[in-house]
Amino acid sequence: MKYRFMIMFLIVLCGMISIAAFNPIIGPLSRNLGLSEIQSGCLVSVTGLCWLLGGYFWEKMAFMSRKKMLVLIMLVYLVTLIVFALLADYAETHLLHTSGLFWIFIVLRAIAGFFFGGIPAKAQAYVMGWTTQETRTRGMALFGAANGLGFVLGPAMSGGMAAAGLTAPMYAAAILLFAMAILFLAFIPNEPNQEIHRQASSLSPNDARIRLYLWIGLALSFVLNIVQVTIGFYVQDTLGYDAREATQLIGLGLAISGVMVVASQIVISKYLKWQPRKVLRVGLLFVALGLLGLLTFIRFAYIDFALLGIGIGFTLLGYSSSASLAVQDHEQRGVASFIAAVQGGGSFLGPVVGTSLYTAHIVFPYSFGALIICLSGVLVLGKRSVQSGSMGEAAKIRN
């Protein structure tokens, strides 16, 4: 059974890597193709919106076996990645800058987002079907870890491959997903659709026990999307780099950030015994410091990315564990769905807001992001601690 969970973890992880890898390349790629900052933001935002719609649609669909449906979803999604990359390469090589190109890109990213939404939805259904009431919390924590890590590692992979070309991460992501589809077909048996019993009263995102943590998750996703979509423009405009140089700098910076995310979560899980509220406070502080560093000391960008990585690692683990610990076992599915939804919501709102702010002034996106994170920190400070468990319990859940 463990190998099944590992395969599903890898499918969700690679899916999140593929969706997040698009963010750092869209700025430099848009400028090479003659698209505006607002247009580049729309390309990311439409993906986030269709991700939310697709997640809801595919979770309800049962017109074929779950196995066939997940494979179909993955294949259609990876085809959209390849078609987008091929069209972008062709347009860049042949200097094809037309208004129609933007709308073709919009359609491709909308389709990609809609089908991508089915990957976490169907993966979650598998995890729910494989777990019992006693093991469901751990299964949902594994699912959440794949979502969070993929969202950070995707941009790191994207920037790291910049030397091979701006669209290279999209081809790599498609290859990864194809490999995961083969692995899934080979090792996961065909099972009938299973309905997980739900209580009549479903969990609400406005539930007082979890709404603060969901807000923090939405704020973090929102701010990270702002940074990922605008950082390419920001580096080019402040340091005078060309598209490839900017993407390489961003790639190394995001790779550092990804390493710090993983390292910080290992440190928290293995060595620290902090309460979730303390983890959130520290995480939000480091995120704010990283944003302020990008705003004022961009020439020390690698340090800024390291601070961001530490903050992201603490905050991801803090809000997801806090939300999981705050509810009962039969409500874990609802929490996992909401955590996935806030990531999609941030992917929808962040890019268009960030590029709009950047068009107004290059410092506005990072100033606004720092303000949002500071506000979240104030809300955490103002919330009375109601958790009786220690961070050690959260670490056990995450493991």
Q: What is the pLDDT of residues 211-244, one digit of tens each?
A: 999 999 999 999 999 998 899 899 999 998 887 7
Do the domain assignments include residue 195? Answer: no
With a cut of 60, say whether residue 392 has pLDDT above it. Answer: no
Residue 48 contacts residue 349 (beta carbons within 8 Å): yes
Do the domain assignments include residue 182? Answer: yes
pTM (2 decimals)? 0.79
Candidate ranges 108-112, 340-344, 348-352; pick with highest mean pLDDT: 108-112
What integer pLDDT is reported at residue 226 of this predicted model? Answer: 93
Do the domain assignments include residue 24? Answer: yes
The residue among 193, 230, 243 whose CA lies nearest residue 354 is 230
Q: What is the Cα–Cα distance from 358 to 365, expressed in whole angstroms? A: 6
Residue 259 contacts residue 388 (beta carbons within 8 Å): no
Q: Which amino acid is at 372?
A: I
Phi, psi dihedral angles at 339 (to 5 degrees): -65, -40
Residue 311 contacts residue 390 (beta carbons within 8 Å): no
What integer pLDDT is reported at residue 365 of this predicted model? Answer: 95
Cα four-point dihedral sign 89, 90, 91, 92: positive
User: What are the angstrom distances between the C-alpha of 128 and each of 11, 65, 188, 204, 302?
Assistant: 15, 16, 15, 19, 40
With a cut of 60, say whether residue 388 has pLDDT above it. Answer: no
Do the domain assignments include residue 269? Answer: yes
Do the domain assignments include residue 200? Answer: no
Query: Looking at the 3D structure of the chain, how many domains does it have?
Result: 1
Q: What is the Cα–Cα distance from 347 to 225, expressed in whole angstroms? A: 6
Residue 314 is part of a domain; what is its CATH number?
Answer: 1.20.1250.20
What integer pLDDT is reported at residue 328 of this predicted model? Answer: 83
Q: What is the mean pLDDT of residues 81-106?
A: 88
Do the domain assignments include residue 201? Answer: no
Lowest-pLDDT range, 167-181, 255-269, 359-373, 375-389? 375-389
With a cut of 90, say whether residue 43 has pLDDT above it. Answer: yes
Do the domain assignments include residue 194? Answer: no
Angle (nearest 5°) at CA 194 between 191 and 199: 160
What integer pLDDT is reported at residue 59 of this predicted model? Answer: 77
Residue bearing tokens 């979509």: 229
Q: What is the mean pLDDT of residues 375-389?
A: 72
Q: What is the Cα–Cα distance from 202 to 332, expressed in whole angstroms? A: 11
Cα four-point dihedral sign 64, 67, 70, 73: negative
Largest Cα–Cα separation, the chain:
62
How many CB atoms sit inside 10 A of residue 58's CB? 22
The mean predicted confidence, pLDDT, of the chain is: 85
Per-residue pLDDT band for 374 (boundaries 50, 70, 90) equals very high
Q: Which amino acid is at 77?
A: Y
Lowest-pLDDT range, 105-114, 174-183, 237-246? 237-246
Task: Give me the domain span that covers residue 223.
Answer: 2-189+207-398
What integer pLDDT is reported at residue 181 of this predicted model? Answer: 95
Q: Could you tell me which residue, 308 or 329, shows the higher pLDDT?
A: 308
Per-residue pLDDT band for 393 (boundaries 50, 70, 90) equals very low
What integer pLDDT is reported at residue 136 of this predicted model? Answer: 64
The set of residues, in sequence order, having a beta carbon less than 8 Å from that of 97 and lying 6+ positions away, is 33, 34, 91
With a cut of 80, say whether residue 21 has pLDDT above it. Answer: yes
Do the domain assignments include residue 363? Answer: yes
